[in-house]
Amino acid sequence: MEYRCTERPSRLVEPAERSTSPEKTRKEIVSKGSSGMEVILATLENTQDLQSILNILYILNELLTVGGGRRIGVFVSKGGTGILLQLVISASKESPPSEEVMLQLHSVLAKVGPKDRKFGVKARLNGALNVTVNLLKQNLQNYKLLLPCLLVLQVYSSNTVNAVSLGKNGVVELMFKIIGPYSKKNTSLLKVSLDTLGALLKSKTNAQRAVVHVPVLLYIYQDWHRNDTRHRHILIRKGILSCLKNITNIKLGRKAFIDADGMRILYNTSTECLSVRTLDPLINTSSLIMRKCFPKNRLPLPTIKSVFHHQLLHVPAGGPVAQLYNQPLGMDDVVDESDNNEEAEAENDMENEVEDHHAGNDDIETDINKLRPKETHSRPFEELKIYERFFMELSEDFQVFKFDNPKKGVTATPEAPKSHRPIIVPTAQALPPKNPTAAPLQGECPHPAPVSALDLDTINITKDQDGCGDHTHSRPHPGAGLEQELVQGLERVALDGAGPQGGEGGGNKHNRQPPILAGGVAARLGGEGEEMLAEDWAEEEESSEEGVLHVPDTALLLPLHDPDLYVEMVKSTSSVPQFSEVAYPDYFGHVAPTSREHILERVYGVQSPLPPFRTKIFQDIERLIHPNDILDKVVYDLDIQSCPVVDGGESLKFNSQFESGNLRKAVQVRKFEYDLVLNSDINSNHYHQWFYFEVSGMRVGAPYRFNIINCEKSNSQFNYGMQVLMYSVQEAISGRPRWVRTGTDICYYKNHFSRSSIAAGGQKGKSYYTMTFSMTFNHKDDVCYFAYHYPYTYSTLKMHLQKLEALRTPQTYLREDVLCETLGGNSCPLLTITAMPESTSNDQICQFRNRPLVFLSSRVHPGETNASWVMKGTLEFLMGSSPLAHSLREAYIFKIVPMLNPDGVVNGNHRCSLSGEDLNRQWQNPSPELHPTIYHTKSLLQYLAAIQRAPLVFCDYHGHSRKKNVFMYGCSLKETVWETNISATSCELHEDLGYRTLPKILSQMAPAFSMASCSFVVERSKEATARVVVWREIGVQRSYTMESTLCGCDQGKYKGLQIGTRELEEMGAQFCVALLRLKRLTSPLKLRNHAHLLDVESDLTETRCKGSSTPSTYLLEDEEASFMEEVDYSAESGDEPDNDPNTADPHDNHLSDSESNNYRDSLT
């Protein structure tokens, strides 16, 4: 049947088809008191006159145009859509149909359709779908009628079933007959045609039909780009790109796009648009298409498993390690190019920056029984009695204690056995020596060999205060510029090796080991056991004063740091790679900068939203378009350990073979650009985020770009102002030994490296992410280090603990025990800190033993180094001499495990221990063989619960990579139920709200803390974490995870600043002061006076009411909330105390003047 329209007036409906007379209809309408819209629709449905129908349609068109969405909603609710569709069917039966009626009907339907959710279904069931299609086919040249038909067709296509049906009817091919090259005519019609085609192509079936038209679309886009010089038709150009975007959602479409040279076409057109801000929509869509079509590649690695392997004595058959190593070779990293592997990409492609938080409700625990504390203990007390030895303070009577002896009664840490592996202090990449070295042994790699190693037990580092000591010097590298800057009057370090005949520097010079310094400072000598002649040494001592390494004198600024002691700690630290080097930053130490480091503002075109990172992406796309410009030169590779990669000076030198270091491979892709690949956690094939590596051999002023290409998290604070950290040796020897925030053009985005489903938990189509930054170096021959966050090694912890013990006063009770030994052979320290009793009287001893306990832990995730800096602040405050610190020690007994995962920290892991598992997901059923630190820490808590001495507070320190500020996660039955649809009685939800007191105190006194970011919801995915297990199984109401940002703050005193070690240590100290205030507020004598703080029911209700505007922090991996940049932090953090002396409550909860002064003194 043909539907070519004419202007011939006719009757639309035969009289026989109308069973209701006009008179009867009029009476019914009037008697019902119907509204005006009902009158119009009833008249339209029942009238037989063509002109009357047209008049009513004219009226509806005007009403719906002027009335907007609300009037259209009324129209739909009164059944107007069905009446219009029925009229379309009736009008189509006319031969030929009336053009004016069809025009008006489709004009009204185009307005109504988008507001009617069932519009597509109604049209398909009614049969109007085919009427519109046939009308379109017969009137391709009738632009007046074509436009409203296309608008209605676009609405039809929003329904998937309709879109497939329309595709079968040839509508996709029909659209390509309407769109065409650049023309000034009928641009509105072309725009609607492209939008309709784009809606149709969302169906994969239709996209397959359109694959053959990809070259046509590219040609049309080029033509419009070339001729639309004034950019008046941006919407048309974007419509063409939208069609391409939908076609390239399928594999065939991506292949057709590549074959048609689409990458080059869109790259060239986009780069020509970069200078025009109004063309951002075109650039954004083009970058989306190009990124999607960029061929998926494997990482440039032989395997995604860690380059290091630690053999476990016990490997559970179904555990992750067994699955990992049972995988056949070559099958652990397979690129999946199937059509169903594409993640849904929103047009703004913000990498899940804004997620549907309501979806998080699926993870909230809904079983009330699991939200109640366990009433029975899982282990018999006889089994737990062995842990009594860790609680000597609960039975100590001090009868034989001499109170004038500060060391009496303190349990010293057993000295770990010394390792005899070689060590190099400090470290850097090797440089060729001045004189020829011995020839390499047969079968060895013909590269400069490392220096002759010093035995750990013979190495001795001394500081010469007056510069008159007996120094040994290393052979300088010709042309090295750093040596000339090593005589600035700073302290010198001499590395003296005791010869076979013994003596300290007095032995035969032929047998003395040469000093071993960094690559840019002094040359490394090659050859196992190679000796330097006495004449050479004498010549060096006379002529090479510049070969001496200067160590900054930071003793006054860093009382807990000592390079000599640090080296001793390194000697007893065990690592899987058997590290033999020490990094400069860990050796020199870090002095926090005095200036504030601001959060970077987003740079337009680099971190601009919708979508981000286009400049960097275009540079990546250039690799595919101009492959001959890519060097693809491997300059560092841990997978080739027997043959380290070195270069003749044209490339940077990299190194990560030191404690906590992580860099697996470096590939030079351009002269000043490097792709970096991180090593996965040991016994794992994922968890790539933490990095810590050394760079040397740089050129001053050159614009270097570094791309870390195998990050895994879907978003990062690197997109929102966070910078990487850099440590310059040149700056350190000039008196500025510090980590500084640095880097420009920083961004974090999804790349074209495919992430294996094996490493992604079975999910297909996942990609890795690139963290890229640019860097210009200021010093020639510098040695620089880059890190994800401020490094804090296991050896640093041991050094700090020894220094703290040395600072102990007679009034402080400090005991350090070894809780257990880790899988890697490192000890896990357990600290007990409290105040000594004033005497041995019964009252004093009783008060001592009955102090409430506070249990603190930290660093279960190795990559969260900020947790260790917070813990350092806590320990320093607890061991301090201020009145507040003394009061705190008198108030509590502190049990502290400062590093729950020493092995992960030592070996540069991001999240796991040597078992290849996240230890913070093992608390429900830890294995003594695989998770010893968690097993024994939980046993300590179980012992305390068994003797009715459960801690008052448990807090596990963590770091957060996707949120700002410092905040807490806690556990609440009531708040968890409120977030779900559980029906529960008020008695079932009864709980003490004291769990909110400590976070509220912190929000009032700690400028970095945000109460609005806190969450007290219990999630299923977190049921095996420390926070939830200690709350549920041990019965600790105040069980928390305290998260510290890796980036900075967006509220309070530090708003707009990146967080540093000073602020992190301050947070640790403020946590202590908050505990002291908590003690005073919960004291029975003072409870009544501070009821206004403890009564947080109103605050809780208010927070619940604001829940719709404040995003929740549940349902996220790794104890992290989904990333939300725009978070309203005004709910709690703005509650500033009233400091008016005339209105202040004499019993308020704020520190007194003397307390405040003491608190400030303790922090400084």
Provide the pLDDT for residue 313.
82
Residue 832, CB half-sphere, CA atoms under 13 Å: how many?
24
Provide the pLDDT for residue 984.
59
* Cβ neighbours of residue 679 closer than 8 Å, sequence gap 6 or more: 306, 307, 308, 638, 656, 662, 663, 664, 688, 908
Q: Indicate the burial class of 572 (C-beta count within 10 angstroms; 0-12, 13-18, 19 or more).
A: middle
Q: Distance between CA 727 and CA 740 in Å, rounded?
A: 7
Distances (CA, A) of 958 to 480, 565, 858, 900, 1042: 42, 27, 7, 11, 6
Predicted TM-score (pTM) of this structure = 0.78
Q: Quick one: tokens of 458?
A: 């013979």
Q: Quick one: tokens of 688?
A: 């790539």
Q: What is residue 467's DSSP assignment?
A: S
Provide the pLDDT for residue 971.
93
Q: Quick one: tokens of 73?
A: 């909603």
Q: Quick one: tokens of 700?
A: 């001053």
pLDDT tens-digit series, residues 595-624: 899 999 876 655 544 444 677 888 888 998
What is the residue whose two structure tokens read 């880059």? 786
* Pairing label, strands 853-858, 767-776: unpaired
Query: Rounded to 5 degrees, what are φ and ψ at 772?
Result: -120, 145
Which helix (H) or strand (E) element contains residue 1140? none
Using H for helix, E for strand and C for coil, what is the string for 717-728?
A: HHHHCCCEEEEE
* Cβ neighbours of residue 785 closer than 8 Å, sequence gap 6 or more: 583, 584, 585, 692, 693, 694, 695, 726, 727
Provide the pLDDT for residue 398.
74
pLDDT tens-digit series, residues 983-1014: 655 556 667 788 999 999 999 999 999 999 99
Provide the pLDDT for residue 760.
62
Provide the pLDDT for residue 525.
28
Please report how the helices 1153-1163 and 883-891 are oriented relative to each other, as an axis angle in degrees rounded to 10. 100
pLDDT tens-digit series, residues 861-913: 999 999 999 999 999 999 999 999 999 999 999 999 999 999 999 999 999 99
* Pairing label, strands 665-670, 783-787: unpaired
Q: Distance between CA 1059 and CA 965 in Å, rounded?
A: 9
Largest CA distance in the chain: 128
- 546: Cα separation from own chain's centroid: 44
Asked if residue 866 lies in contact with residue 1046, where contact means CB atoms within 8 angstroms, the answer is yes
Segments of the chain with pLDDT less than 70: 1-34, 318-319, 324-325, 327-362, 365-372, 375-377, 399-552, 603-613, 642-648, 758-763, 981-990, 1084-1164
- Full DSSP string of 1081-1120: HHSTTTTTTTHHHH--HHHHHHHHHGGGTS----S-GGG-
CA dihedral 315, 318, 321, 327 (to 10 degrees): 120
Provide the pLDDT for residue 989.
63
Catalytic residue flag (residue 838): no
Count CB-CB contacts under 10 A for residue 39: 14
Smallest Cα–Cα separation from 37: which of 4, 8, 59, 15? 59
Q: Quick one: tokens of 914?
A: 């040597």
Among 393, 805, 917, 1043, which one carries the catalytic annotation? 1043
Q: Indicate the burial class of 250 (C-beta count within 10 angstroms; 0-12, 13-18, 19 or more).
A: buried
